Chain A
Amino acid sequence: MSVGEVAAGTLLLIGVASFAFTSIGLLVSRNVYDQIHFLAPGSIVGSLAICAAVVVHEGFSQSAAKAILIVILLLISNPILSHATARAARVRRQQKLPLKAADD
């Protein structure tokens, strides 16, 4: 196995482990707000690692360029989706958004 393949394999392992972390977090979390936090490890670390594995494996190619676009998109969309989902959960529960944390 070449150095590139070892590097790609290591990055793939990190990526899959991040998504496993997300999956376990989703299962053990007690409420929806805790679950939302566990979207980030997969979407950020996992996607970065797997796309880096593609870039290392392919070099500069069509697949690598598209993988980089996918990572940029996931990095931007994760906080936006987390915020929108948390806000929706809060509004559904409270029927309004309170201004103070003590209103929870």
Chain B
Amino acid sequence: MWTLAVIGLLVCMSGAFIRCAHGDTVSRLVALEAGSSMCIMILLALGEAYHRVPFVDLALTLALLSFGAGLVFARFLERWL
């Protein structure tokens, strides 16, 4: 059940990959943010599928870091890049 959810989320991530590959700069940032939230859920589901609690720690860390990274990218794209 959890492995199927991971496969489903990976398929959903392909949409974000395509938008990341083709699109203007800010569109790619939006796709990155979407991909990050999908990745967080994949890690959570993998942790449940294989009963590994450290994967959930990874998901929490990714949630924190992707928030900060998204803000930094947005600020840089607004001002300097």
Contact = CB atoms under 8 A, between A and B. Distances in A.
Nearest to B31: A26
Interface of B: 1-2, 4-5, 8-9, 11-16, 18-19, 24-27, 29-31, 33-34, 37-38, 40-41, 44-45, 47-48, 53, 56-57, 59-60, 63-64, 67, 70-71, 74-75, 77-79
A62 B59 CA distance: 13
Contacts, number: 138
Nearest to B40: A70
Given A16-B12, A35-B19, A63 B30 contact: no
B41 A57 contact: no
Interface residues of A, number: 46
A9 to B, nearest CB: 5
Contact of A69 (B48, B60, B77): B60
In the A-B complex, the 8 residue pairs with the smallest Cβ-Cβ separation, listed nearest first, are A23-B15, A84-B74, A16-B8, A88-B78, A77-B67, A19-B12, A89-B26, A88-B74
Contact of B34 (A8, A12, A39, A87): A39
A54 B27 contact: no
A74 B70 CA distance: 12
Contact of B30 (A12, A35, A57, A91): A35
A73 B74 CA distance: 18
Given A67-B44, A88-B75, A24 B15 contact: yes
Contacts of A67: 44, 56
